[in-house]
Amino acid sequence: MITTLATYVRNYIDISDEEMQLFYKYLRVKKLKKKEYLLTEGRTCQARYFIIKGCLRSFYIDEKGVERILDFGIDKWWFTNYNSLITQNPSENFIQAIENSELLELHNDCFEELLLKLPKIERFFRVIMEKTHIAYLNRIKYTRSFTGEKLYKDFIHSNPVFAQRVPQYMIASYLDLSPEFVSKVRAKDAIK
């Protein structure tokens, strides 16, 4: 559990076992059952979460009452609502478990203290933030450039894990496609 995180952190910074122990003091384990919410609309996000195991989705409800998925999180990803966490404004989004999940919670109250005690963590979170941002840049670029059919096929191809663990209509929502359309794309190739 702690080793899962340590391995992850060491992709980005050098950190000793002792320092990791200190880091770990600021975390608490949080378990979520399938469909349980980590954050709901109107509440303010107060923590960053490291997903040890499981699968989450972040979504909002549009004017027509339709759920629109913004993002998925899966094993060994950091997940939060950055907007609400950083601005401390009420969240417009929900975060919900797609599977039973096990997380490490880094509460915002002790985030600053952690940075003081362990300044190299500042760098870690800057780098994480940069990586996350780059992923979004690529996503914007990608989504704009291609047809729905290509988006879906490429997504399935490059994220076979999600195709297995996430229902089809959620992938459609994430890609901003209707479930019917995705269904037709699949039918067309008389897949498999």
Partner DNA sequence: CGCGACGTTGATTTGCCTCAACGATTGTGG
Partner DNA sequence: CCACAATCGTTGAGGCAAATCAACGTCGCG
Under the rule (CB under 8 A), what is the footprint of a copy of itself?
Answer: 60, 62-63, 68, 70, 82-83, 86-87, 115, 119, 122-123, 125-126, 129-134, 136-141, 144-145, 176
Cβ closer to DNA: 116 or 187? Answer: 187
CA 158 vs. chain centroid, Å, equals: 17
In the complex, the smallest distance separating the C-beta of residue 117 from a copy of itself, rounded to whole angstroms, is 14
Sequence-distant (≥ 6) Cβ neighbours of residue 61 within 8 angstroms: 41, 67, 68, 94
**Spatial separation of the C-alpha atoms in residues 50 and 102, rounded to whole Å:** 9
Token couple for 136: 């979004």
Q: Which does 126 bind (CB under 5 to 8 A by kind): a copy of itself, DNA, none?
A: a copy of itself
Cβ closer to DNA: 24 or 179? Answer: 179
Cβ closer to a copy of itself: 52 or 80? Answer: 80
Point out which residues pair with 95 in neighbouring strands.
39, 58
